[in-house]
Amino acid sequence: MQTTKEDMNNFMGNFPSSEFADGTCYIVGSMAIVGVVNTNDGLVIFDLGIKMQGSKIFQEVRKFSDKPVKYIIYSHGHFDHCFGYAPFIEEIKEKGWDMPQVIGHENLLRRFEKYRILHGYHNWLNKMQFSTRGAQMPGDIVSAKETLDPTIILHGNENYEFKLGQYTFEVYHDMGETDDGLWMFFPEKKVLFTGDLVMNPSYPNVGNPNKVQRYPKHWAFAMEKMLEKNADYIVPGHGQLIEGKDDVKDTLSIRAEAMHFVHDEVVKRMNEGKWFPEIFHEMLEIEPEKFKNHKFLKPTYGCYRFAIHATYRLYHGWYDSGNPTDLFPAKADDIAKEILKVADETKFLEQAKSLFDEGKVQLASHLLDVIIKGSALENETLLEAYKLKSLSLKKLKIEEPAFIAKNSYSTGISELKNKIRELKRKLK
Protein backbone atom coordinates (compact mmCIF):
# COMPACT_ATOMS: atom_id res chain seq x y z
CA MET A 1 0.00 0.00 0.00
CA GLN A 2 1.44 3.36 -1.01
CA THR A 3 2.03 6.25 1.31
CA THR A 4 -0.27 9.17 0.47
CA LYS A 5 0.37 12.88 0.95
CA GLU A 6 -2.18 12.77 3.74
CA ASP A 7 -0.26 9.95 5.49
CA MET A 8 2.91 11.99 5.30
CA ASN A 9 1.19 15.12 6.62
CA ASN A 10 -0.25 13.15 9.52
CA PHE A 11 3.11 11.56 10.09
CA MET A 12 4.70 15.00 10.40
CA GLY A 13 2.00 15.95 12.95
CA ASN A 14 0.26 18.50 10.75
CA PHE A 15 -3.15 18.07 12.33
CA PRO A 16 -5.05 19.92 15.07
CA SER A 17 -4.62 18.91 18.71
CA SER A 18 -7.66 17.24 20.24
CA GLU A 19 -9.18 15.85 23.41
CA PHE A 20 -10.21 12.22 23.77
CA ALA A 21 -11.15 9.63 26.40
CA ASP A 22 -14.00 11.76 27.84
CA GLY A 23 -11.86 14.88 27.78
CA THR A 24 -9.27 13.35 30.14
CA CYS A 25 -6.56 13.07 27.50
CA TYR A 26 -5.16 15.31 24.83
CA ILE A 27 -3.00 14.66 21.79
CA VAL A 28 -0.82 17.47 20.46
CA GLY A 29 -0.19 17.38 16.72
CA SER A 30 3.52 18.02 16.33
CA MET A 31 6.43 16.37 14.57
CA ALA A 32 6.62 13.87 17.42
CA ILE A 33 3.37 13.43 19.30
CA VAL A 34 2.89 14.82 22.79
CA GLY A 35 0.26 13.11 24.97
CA VAL A 36 -1.30 14.76 28.01
CA VAL A 37 -3.48 13.42 30.84
CA ASN A 38 -5.46 15.78 33.05
CA THR A 39 -5.78 14.61 36.67
CA ASN A 40 -7.22 16.38 39.73
CA ASP A 41 -3.67 17.04 40.92
CA GLY A 42 -2.02 18.19 37.71
CA LEU A 43 -0.83 17.02 34.32
CA VAL A 44 1.06 13.99 33.14
CA ILE A 45 2.89 14.61 29.87
CA PHE A 46 4.19 11.84 27.69
CA ASP A 47 7.05 13.17 25.51
CA LEU A 48 7.90 16.81 24.86
CA GLY A 49 8.63 17.00 21.16
CA ILE A 50 11.35 18.70 19.19
CA LYS A 51 13.17 21.72 20.62
CA MET A 52 12.10 24.16 17.90
CA GLN A 53 8.42 23.24 18.38
CA GLY A 54 8.62 23.73 22.15
CA SER A 55 6.59 26.94 22.32
CA LYS A 56 3.96 25.63 19.90
CA ILE A 57 3.60 22.50 22.03
CA PHE A 58 3.42 24.57 25.21
CA GLN A 59 0.66 26.78 23.78
CA GLU A 60 -1.30 23.73 22.62
CA VAL A 61 -1.04 22.07 26.04
CA ARG A 62 -2.20 25.28 27.71
CA LYS A 63 -5.32 25.32 25.51
CA PHE A 64 -6.22 22.02 27.16
CA SER A 65 -5.45 22.81 30.79
CA ASP A 66 -3.62 25.39 32.93
CA LYS A 67 -2.74 22.92 35.70
CA PRO A 68 0.91 22.41 36.70
CA VAL A 69 2.87 19.64 35.02
CA LYS A 70 3.63 16.97 37.62
CA TYR A 71 5.12 14.16 35.56
CA ILE A 72 6.99 14.03 32.26
CA ILE A 73 7.73 10.63 30.72
CA TYR A 74 10.27 10.21 27.93
CA SER A 75 9.42 7.42 25.50
CA HIS A 76 13.10 7.44 24.44
CA GLY A 77 15.89 9.96 24.02
CA HIS A 78 15.56 10.84 20.32
CA PHE A 79 15.84 14.54 19.53
CA ASP A 80 12.19 14.77 18.47
CA HIS A 81 10.82 13.47 21.77
CA CYS A 82 12.40 15.20 24.74
CA PHE A 83 13.77 18.60 23.87
CA GLY A 84 10.69 20.88 23.81
CA TYR A 85 10.79 21.44 27.58
CA ALA A 86 12.08 25.05 27.82
CA PRO A 87 8.72 26.95 27.90
CA PHE A 88 7.36 24.52 30.51
CA ILE A 89 10.36 25.11 32.78
CA GLU A 90 10.09 28.87 32.28
CA GLU A 91 6.46 28.74 33.39
CA ILE A 92 7.34 26.65 36.46
CA LYS A 93 9.95 29.20 37.53
CA GLU A 94 7.61 32.10 36.86
CA LYS A 95 4.80 30.62 38.92
CA GLY A 96 7.03 29.19 41.64
CA TRP A 97 5.70 25.67 41.08
CA ASP A 98 7.65 22.53 42.03
CA MET A 99 9.71 20.92 39.31
CA PRO A 100 7.97 17.87 37.80
CA GLN A 101 9.24 14.33 38.10
CA VAL A 102 10.84 13.25 34.84
CA ILE A 103 10.83 9.52 34.07
CA GLY A 104 13.36 7.97 31.69
CA HIS A 105 15.24 4.73 31.16
CA GLU A 106 18.90 4.51 32.22
CA ASN A 107 19.98 4.08 28.59
CA LEU A 108 18.51 7.49 27.78
CA LEU A 109 21.30 9.14 29.79
CA ARG A 110 23.87 7.20 27.75
CA ARG A 111 22.12 8.40 24.61
CA PHE A 112 22.33 12.04 25.69
CA GLU A 113 26.04 11.53 26.37
CA LYS A 114 26.46 10.01 22.91
CA TYR A 115 24.69 13.02 21.34
CA ARG A 116 27.17 15.33 23.05
CA ILE A 117 30.13 13.35 21.66
CA LEU A 118 28.63 13.15 18.15
CA HIS A 119 27.06 16.59 17.92
CA GLY A 120 28.42 17.61 14.49
CA TYR A 121 27.93 14.16 13.01
CA HIS A 122 24.27 13.94 14.00
CA ASN A 123 23.50 17.35 12.56
CA TRP A 124 25.14 16.39 9.28
CA LEU A 125 23.31 13.05 9.17
CA ASN A 126 19.89 14.32 10.13
CA LYS A 127 19.97 17.14 7.62
CA MET A 128 20.28 14.43 4.96
CA GLN A 129 17.74 12.11 6.54
CA PHE A 130 15.19 14.92 6.65
CA SER A 131 16.45 16.73 3.54
CA THR A 132 13.03 17.26 1.96
CA ARG A 133 11.98 18.94 5.21
CA GLY A 134 15.25 20.84 5.42
CA ALA A 135 13.65 24.27 5.25
CA GLN A 136 11.79 23.53 8.47
CA MET A 137 14.94 22.49 10.26
CA PRO A 138 17.43 25.31 10.43
CA GLY A 139 20.50 25.28 12.67
CA ASP A 140 21.20 22.47 15.07
CA ILE A 141 18.65 19.76 14.49
CA VAL A 142 20.03 17.69 17.31
CA SER A 143 21.50 19.32 20.34
CA ALA A 144 21.88 17.63 23.69
CA LYS A 145 24.08 20.40 25.04
CA GLU A 146 21.19 21.18 27.35
CA THR A 147 18.79 18.49 28.50
CA LEU A 148 16.06 18.06 31.07
CA ASP A 149 17.36 14.90 32.69
CA PRO A 150 15.21 12.22 34.34
CA THR A 151 14.68 12.34 38.08
CA ILE A 152 13.21 8.83 38.14
CA ILE A 153 15.45 6.40 36.28
CA LEU A 154 14.26 2.93 35.31
CA HIS A 155 17.00 0.29 35.27
CA GLY A 156 16.98 -2.79 33.03
CA ASN A 157 13.50 -4.23 32.64
CA GLU A 158 12.05 -2.47 35.69
CA ASN A 159 8.46 -1.24 35.54
CA TYR A 160 7.24 1.82 37.37
CA GLU A 161 3.78 2.65 38.64
CA PHE A 162 2.62 5.96 40.03
CA LYS A 163 -0.60 7.64 41.03
CA LEU A 164 -1.56 11.22 40.38
CA GLY A 165 -4.94 12.58 41.49
CA GLN A 166 -7.56 9.93 40.84
CA TYR A 167 -5.54 8.00 38.23
CA THR A 168 -2.87 5.32 37.93
CA PHE A 169 -0.05 5.14 35.41
CA GLU A 170 2.03 2.12 34.48
CA VAL A 171 5.39 2.62 32.77
CA TYR A 172 7.21 -0.25 31.04
CA HIS A 173 10.56 -0.64 29.32
CA ASP A 174 10.91 -2.36 25.95
CA MET A 175 13.52 -2.24 23.23
CA GLY A 176 12.43 -1.74 19.63
CA GLU A 177 13.43 1.43 17.85
CA THR A 178 15.91 2.10 20.65
CA ASP A 179 17.38 0.48 23.74
CA ASP A 180 15.94 3.19 26.02
CA GLY A 181 12.25 2.72 25.14
CA LEU A 182 9.49 3.37 27.68
CA TRP A 183 5.78 3.13 27.09
CA MET A 184 2.89 3.98 29.38
CA PHE A 185 -0.54 2.52 30.06
CA PHE A 186 -3.30 4.57 31.65
CA PRO A 187 -5.69 1.84 32.83
CA GLU A 188 -8.71 3.93 33.94
CA LYS A 189 -9.20 5.20 30.37
CA LYS A 190 -7.42 2.34 28.60
CA VAL A 191 -4.92 4.53 26.78
CA LEU A 192 -1.51 3.36 25.53
CA PHE A 193 1.23 5.92 25.03
CA THR A 194 3.71 4.06 22.85
CA GLY A 195 6.37 6.50 21.67
CA ASP A 196 7.95 5.29 18.45
CA LEU A 197 7.06 1.66 19.15
CA VAL A 198 4.00 2.71 17.14
CA MET A 199 4.26 5.22 14.32
CA ASN A 200 0.91 5.62 12.60
CA PRO A 201 0.64 4.28 9.91
CA SER A 202 4.29 3.41 9.33
CA TYR A 203 6.01 0.06 9.29
CA PRO A 204 8.35 0.00 12.34
CA ASN A 205 11.45 2.14 11.96
CA VAL A 206 13.77 -0.84 12.26
CA GLY A 207 16.86 -0.93 10.05
CA ASN A 208 16.95 2.80 9.31
CA PRO A 209 19.89 2.95 6.86
CA ASN A 210 21.49 5.89 8.68
CA LYS A 211 21.17 4.83 12.25
CA VAL A 212 22.44 2.37 14.83
CA GLN A 213 21.12 -1.11 15.47
CA ARG A 214 17.45 -1.61 16.22
CA TYR A 215 15.58 -4.61 17.58
CA PRO A 216 12.93 -6.41 15.49
CA LYS A 217 12.30 -9.37 17.83
CA HIS A 218 12.07 -7.17 20.91
CA TRP A 219 9.68 -4.96 18.96
CA ALA A 220 7.36 -7.93 18.45
CA PHE A 221 7.45 -8.73 22.17
CA ALA A 222 6.65 -5.11 23.04
CA MET A 223 3.59 -5.23 20.77
CA GLU A 224 2.43 -8.44 22.47
CA LYS A 225 2.81 -6.89 25.92
CA MET A 226 0.75 -3.91 24.79
CA LEU A 227 -1.92 -6.21 23.31
CA GLU A 228 -2.50 -7.70 26.77
CA LYS A 229 -3.70 -4.29 27.96
CA ASN A 230 -6.77 -4.47 25.70
CA ALA A 231 -6.59 -0.72 25.18
CA ASP A 232 -9.11 1.60 23.52
CA TYR A 233 -6.61 4.20 22.32
CA ILE A 234 -3.04 4.47 21.13
CA VAL A 235 -1.19 7.76 21.29
CA PRO A 236 1.59 6.92 18.82
CA GLY A 237 5.07 8.47 18.60
CA HIS A 238 4.13 9.95 15.22
CA GLY A 239 0.82 10.29 13.41
CA GLN A 240 -2.84 10.41 14.38
CA LEU A 241 -4.50 8.95 17.44
CA ILE A 242 -5.66 5.35 16.97
CA GLU A 243 -9.13 4.81 18.41
CA GLY A 244 -11.27 1.77 19.15
CA LYS A 245 -10.38 -1.73 20.32
CA ASP A 246 -10.34 -3.19 16.80
CA ASP A 247 -7.94 -0.64 15.33
CA VAL A 248 -5.73 -0.76 18.42
CA LYS A 249 -5.54 -4.54 18.22
CA ASP A 250 -4.97 -4.48 14.48
CA THR A 251 -2.15 -1.92 14.78
CA LEU A 252 -0.31 -3.89 17.45
CA SER A 253 -0.85 -7.39 16.13
CA ILE A 254 0.18 -6.64 12.53
CA ARG A 255 3.41 -5.09 13.86
CA ALA A 256 4.10 -8.09 16.07
CA GLU A 257 3.49 -10.42 13.13
CA ALA A 258 5.62 -8.38 10.73
CA MET A 259 8.54 -8.21 13.17
CA HIS A 260 8.43 -11.94 13.98
CA PHE A 261 8.25 -12.72 10.27
CA VAL A 262 11.19 -10.64 9.12
CA HIS A 263 13.33 -11.69 12.06
CA ASP A 264 12.60 -15.41 11.84
CA GLU A 265 12.89 -15.66 8.05
CA VAL A 266 16.26 -13.86 7.97
CA VAL A 267 17.55 -15.98 10.86
CA LYS A 268 16.39 -19.16 9.11
CA ARG A 269 18.45 -18.20 6.05
CA MET A 270 21.47 -17.26 8.15
CA ASN A 271 21.29 -20.72 9.68
CA GLU A 272 21.31 -22.16 6.15
CA GLY A 273 24.69 -20.48 5.57
CA LYS A 274 23.46 -17.78 3.18
CA TRP A 275 25.11 -14.39 2.68
CA PHE A 276 23.28 -11.11 2.82
CA PRO A 277 22.65 -10.40 -0.90
CA GLU A 278 21.01 -13.81 -1.34
CA ILE A 279 18.96 -13.41 1.83
CA PHE A 280 17.85 -9.91 0.84
CA HIS A 281 16.58 -10.87 -2.61
CA GLU A 282 14.89 -14.02 -1.33
CA MET A 283 13.18 -11.98 1.37
CA LEU A 284 11.83 -9.56 -1.24
CA GLU A 285 10.22 -12.48 -3.02
CA ILE A 286 8.45 -13.87 0.04
CA GLU A 287 7.06 -10.63 1.49
CA PRO A 288 3.49 -11.52 2.50
CA GLU A 289 0.71 -9.64 0.70
CA LYS A 290 -1.06 -8.93 3.99
CA PHE A 291 1.90 -6.81 5.12
CA LYS A 292 2.17 -5.02 1.77
CA ASN A 293 -1.47 -4.03 1.82
CA HIS A 294 -2.08 -3.26 5.45
CA LYS A 295 -3.44 0.19 6.29
CA PHE A 296 -1.50 0.30 9.57
CA LEU A 297 1.77 -0.93 8.09
CA LYS A 298 2.59 1.47 5.29
CA PRO A 299 6.22 2.01 4.29
CA THR A 300 5.90 5.67 5.32
CA TYR A 301 9.05 5.88 7.40
CA GLY A 302 10.37 2.41 8.14
CA CYS A 303 9.87 -0.41 5.65
CA TYR A 304 10.29 -4.16 5.14
CA ARG A 305 13.54 -3.80 3.15
CA PHE A 306 15.17 -1.88 6.00
CA ALA A 307 14.00 -4.50 8.48
CA ILE A 308 15.83 -7.26 6.57
CA HIS A 309 19.06 -5.32 7.05
CA ALA A 310 18.27 -4.74 10.72
CA THR A 311 17.90 -8.43 11.45
CA TYR A 312 21.04 -9.47 9.60
CA ARG A 313 23.09 -6.74 11.23
CA LEU A 314 21.82 -7.73 14.66
CA TYR A 315 23.73 -10.97 14.38
CA HIS A 316 26.40 -10.40 11.75
CA GLY A 317 29.49 -8.27 11.14
CA TRP A 318 30.21 -5.91 8.26
CA TYR A 319 31.58 -8.45 5.76
CA ASP A 320 28.29 -9.51 4.24
CA SER A 321 28.84 -10.66 0.64
CA GLY A 322 30.91 -13.81 1.12
CA ASN A 323 33.17 -12.67 -1.72
CA PRO A 324 36.73 -12.10 -0.43
CA THR A 325 37.23 -9.42 -3.11
CA ASP A 326 34.90 -7.30 -1.02
CA LEU A 327 36.85 -7.80 2.20
CA PHE A 328 39.37 -4.99 1.61
CA PRO A 329 38.33 -3.56 -1.77
CA ALA A 330 40.46 -1.27 -3.94
CA LYS A 331 39.28 2.34 -4.32
CA ALA A 332 36.01 2.47 -6.26
CA ASP A 333 37.48 5.09 -8.63
CA ASP A 334 40.47 2.86 -9.43
CA ILE A 335 38.21 -0.11 -10.15
CA ALA A 336 36.08 2.01 -12.49
CA LYS A 337 39.17 3.35 -14.29
CA GLU A 338 40.33 -0.20 -15.01
CA ILE A 339 36.88 -1.23 -16.25
CA LEU A 340 36.86 1.76 -18.62
CA LYS A 341 40.11 0.49 -20.14
CA VAL A 342 38.20 -2.57 -21.33
CA ALA A 343 35.36 -0.63 -22.90
CA ASP A 344 35.18 3.15 -23.01
CA GLU A 345 32.64 5.57 -21.54
CA THR A 346 30.45 5.79 -24.64
CA LYS A 347 29.74 2.03 -24.51
CA PHE A 348 28.68 2.26 -20.89
CA LEU A 349 26.53 5.31 -21.57
CA GLU A 350 24.81 3.58 -24.49
CA GLN A 351 24.02 0.51 -22.37
CA ALA A 352 22.87 2.66 -19.45
CA LYS A 353 20.48 4.53 -21.77
CA SER A 354 18.91 1.36 -23.05
CA LEU A 355 18.54 -0.04 -19.52
CA PHE A 356 16.93 3.23 -18.46
CA ASP A 357 14.52 3.04 -21.41
CA GLU A 358 13.62 -0.52 -20.42
CA GLY A 359 12.79 0.76 -16.94
CA LYS A 360 15.81 -0.99 -15.36
CA VAL A 361 16.79 2.20 -13.58
CA GLN A 362 18.76 0.65 -10.73
CA LEU A 363 20.94 -1.29 -13.17
CA ALA A 364 21.39 1.82 -15.32
CA SER A 365 22.66 3.68 -12.24
CA HIS A 366 25.32 1.02 -11.59
CA LEU A 367 26.65 1.44 -15.15
CA LEU A 368 26.60 5.22 -14.92
CA ASP A 369 28.67 5.00 -11.74
CA VAL A 370 31.47 3.37 -13.75
CA ILE A 371 31.65 6.48 -15.95
CA ILE A 372 31.20 8.92 -13.09
CA LYS A 373 33.81 7.29 -10.89
CA GLY A 374 36.28 6.23 -13.56
CA SER A 375 36.21 8.84 -16.29
CA ALA A 376 39.48 10.72 -16.58
CA LEU A 377 37.95 13.30 -18.93
CA GLU A 378 35.60 16.14 -18.15
CA ASN A 379 33.64 15.94 -21.38
CA GLU A 380 30.12 15.74 -22.85
CA THR A 381 29.92 12.01 -22.08
CA LEU A 382 30.52 12.64 -18.41
CA LEU A 383 27.93 15.42 -18.49
CA GLU A 384 25.41 13.06 -20.07
CA ALA A 385 26.21 10.42 -17.44
CA TYR A 386 25.55 12.96 -14.67
CA LYS A 387 22.26 13.97 -16.27
CA LEU A 388 21.07 10.40 -16.77
CA LYS A 389 22.09 9.48 -13.22
CA SER A 390 20.11 12.46 -11.97
CA LEU A 391 17.07 11.34 -13.99
CA SER A 392 17.49 7.81 -12.66
CA LEU A 393 17.58 8.99 -9.06
CA LYS A 394 14.51 11.16 -9.67
CA LYS A 395 12.66 8.12 -11.01
CA LEU A 396 13.77 5.97 -8.06
CA LYS A 397 12.71 8.74 -5.69
CA ILE A 398 9.22 8.99 -7.18
CA GLU A 399 8.73 5.24 -6.93
CA GLU A 400 10.18 5.03 -3.42
CA PRO A 401 7.58 4.96 -0.62
CA ALA A 402 9.99 5.16 2.34
CA PHE A 403 10.70 8.72 3.51
CA ILE A 404 14.30 8.05 4.57
CA ALA A 405 15.25 6.36 1.28
CA LYS A 406 13.45 9.12 -0.65
CA ASN A 407 15.60 11.69 1.14
CA SER A 408 18.80 9.79 0.33
CA TYR A 409 17.83 10.09 -3.33
CA SER A 410 17.15 13.80 -2.81
CA THR A 411 20.62 14.31 -1.38
CA GLY A 412 22.14 12.49 -4.37
CA ILE A 413 20.09 14.58 -6.81
CA SER A 414 21.18 17.87 -5.28
CA GLU A 415 24.85 16.80 -5.28
CA LEU A 416 24.54 15.92 -8.98
CA LYS A 417 22.90 19.26 -9.69
CA ASN A 418 26.04 20.99 -8.42
CA LYS A 419 28.30 18.71 -10.45
CA ILE A 420 26.24 19.32 -13.61
CA ARG A 421 26.37 23.08 -13.11
CA GLU A 422 30.13 23.03 -12.52
CA LEU A 423 30.89 20.81 -15.52
CA LYS A 424 28.64 22.86 -17.83
CA ARG A 425 30.60 25.94 -16.83
CA LYS A 426 33.90 24.22 -17.63
CA LEU A 427 32.66 22.93 -21.00
CA LYS A 428 31.50 26.35 -22.22
Q: What angle do CA 152, 28, 206 make, to 5 degrees?
A: 70
Q: Which is nearer to Zn ion, 196 or 265 (CB)?
A: 196
Count of positions (residues) in the chain = 428
Q: Which is nearer to Zn ion, 11 or 386 (CB)?
A: 11
Cα separation, 410 vs 407, whole angstroms: 5
Q: Which is nearer to Zn ion, 7 or 196 (CB)?
A: 196
CA gyration radius for the chain?
Answer: 24
Task: Provide the minimum distance between the beta carbon of 415 and Zn ion in the complex, in angstroms, as a whole number.
Answer: 27
Question: Per-residue string for binding with Zn ion, 213-242, x by CB under 5 A?
Answer: ------------------------x-----
Task: Provide the minimum distance between the beta carbon of 16 and Zn ion in the complex, in angstroms, as a whole number.
Answer: 20
How many residues touch Zn ion under the rule CB under 5 A: the total is: 4
Provide φ and ψ at 172, rounded to 5°.
-125, 150
Kindly identify the residues of this chain, within the stretch 59-88, that bind Zn ion according to CB under 5 A: 80
28 binds Zn ion (CB under 5 A): no
Q: Which is nearer to Zn ion, 301 or 348 (CB)?
A: 301
Question: Per-residue string for binding with Zn ion, 155-194, x by CB under 5 A?
Answer: ----------------------------------------
32 binds Zn ion (CB under 5 A): yes
Which residues does 129 contact at the CB level (< 8 Å), separation at least 6?
208, 210, 404, 407
Task: Provide the minimum distance between the beta carbon of 206 and Zn ion in the complex, in angstroms, as a whole number.
Answer: 13
Judged by phi (left if over 0) then psi (alpha if -120 to 50, else beta), residue 337 lies in: alpha
Provide φ and ψ at 212, rounded to 5°.
-70, 175
Q: Which is nearer to Zn ion, 42 or 195 (CB)?
A: 195
Contact segment (CB under 5 A) with Zn ion among 27-35, 61-69, 96-104, 123-131 equals: 27-35
47 binds Zn ion (CB under 5 A): no
Kindly identify the residues of this chain, within the stretch 239-268, that bind Zn ion according to CB under 5 A: none
Q: Which of 60, 174, 196, 345 binds Zn ion (CB under 5 A)?
A: 196
Q: Which residue ranges make up the site for Zn ion (CB under 5 A)?
A: 32, 80, 196, 237
